A and B are shown apart, each in its own frame.
Chain A
Amino acid sequence: MSAKGIEFRDVTIAYDRHPAVHHLSGSFPAGSLTAVAGPNGAGKSTLLKALMGELPLSGGVIDRGGLSARDFGYLPQAADIERRFPLTVADAVMLGAWRETGAFGGATRAAADRARQALSAVGMDGFERRHIGSLSAGQFQRVLFARLLMQDASVIVLDEPFTAIDARTTRDLLEIVQRWRRDGRTVIAVLHDFEQVRAHFPRTLLLAREAIEWGDTDSALSAANLLRARSMAESWDEEADPCDADDRRRA
């Protein structure tokens, strides 16, 4: 669906001057299915937030290939969502019609029908009037996937979509991810489970603040690379010198 891919050119994202993602270059080709994997603190969620334009870049460029914010469907981490907000399942899914309704427009009958179909596709028929606070973690994740289906985005960005989710739900939702890929959508997902990545994701960015490898999953997740990733994710060095990569490049 998306004509061009998304390209990172020498991207650095820093908190308090310390890089969380350091000089990252590579691309998510259009229609590709890529896992972003790596140890805790590797910068995976930071990378997604920067891709979504939520964090400023300290250096480099992200070329989104002419896509605008509305072409992206984003699933934040569960912790960033207020589960206790008094919203029904139907209302939560209808937020996915934002591209048509915008902030103020009315919801059409067609959008409501699509919301019902989306709920049905994630196995949540009959839950429309349920309160989101009464759902299990797995059911709630299904609802968020239904919202993504509603959004009909050409690029889908998932931040830890299967963390603390039961095996059956994970399997069902992975099936939806595969369907997105068959539709030609670009899918980028932060994942922890390397077996899951090997089984379902053809491409992988193995991240440990820098790209250990960005390419085919089999090669990216080699034993040597995983060992490197583990050893590189050290904590911040308060005494670190300013990065001289820019100087070297200029020289």
Chain B
Amino acid sequence: MKVIEKKLIELGYQKIETPLLSDFNQTRIYLSEVEQKNAIKVTSPDGRVLNLRCDSTLAMVLSKTNKIEQNIYYFEPNYNYDFEKNQMNEVYQIGIENAKFGIAKLEQNNAELAYGLESLELAITLLKEKERSNLLVEVSNEALFMEVLDDLSLGEEEKEKLLYFIKRRNAKEIRICLEQSAVSINVIEVLVKLTSHPIQLDLVLSMIENITIFNKLTQWLEVISQRIGNDLLFEGLPDASKPYYSGLSYRIYDKENHLLSVSGGCYYFEAFEVAGCGFTIPMEVISC
């Protein structure tokens, strides 16, 4: 922890503390119905309903401090809802947020991506400070990839089924679902590959170039390739879907210790008009 904190202070990051308990009536506007129902709540002596710090609490803090456009970090537990397992999890982590850009910059996709890649590079630097060098970097753009899937003209039920099997990387079932779409066999082959296994960036680019439905994705990946290089993986849809990620999301795996060491991306909390990009490093990575 000291190594990472020292580096962050050196880079001008400021430590913040977010409240352990938020006023539920203020918090609920950025929570889904399921999250609202499952948030861990207590009632204060004066009758206010309070909920334990959730992973979106930072948005509230940023919304109040946004004007200062400060790069920040925090080191405290969050309580977030796991949709797949239908339970609340406590996650102890260090969070590092680059909130230097505002909404106007977010609207320009390339600017957002540039900031996102800057935060990805910082994550790699911090892991190297912790002497982790055997790293596997994976990038995704869920919103852009969903646009590709929307273009397949699948019915609601078929699409839901497809997403279920993509989450499980079940290539056989993914193929069966895609065969019900109106796209050509070539496009199906590409989509099966992209959704069933993370693939090296240069290979992805060679597979999707000149295929119309992938045009936007191709342009986006080319920007990444020019900035970071091709030694990273592309994942169509990431495992843990975070609806607030607005573009780039990334994960860094430590190949030597078989750990997911960093998870992050660019986000936008509509309710608070807060944009930023950042990542978290779980406690087990910091402590080992």
Our verdict on whether A and B bind, yes or no, reads no
B residues in contact (CB < 8 Å) with A = none
A residues in contact (CB < 8 Å) with B = none
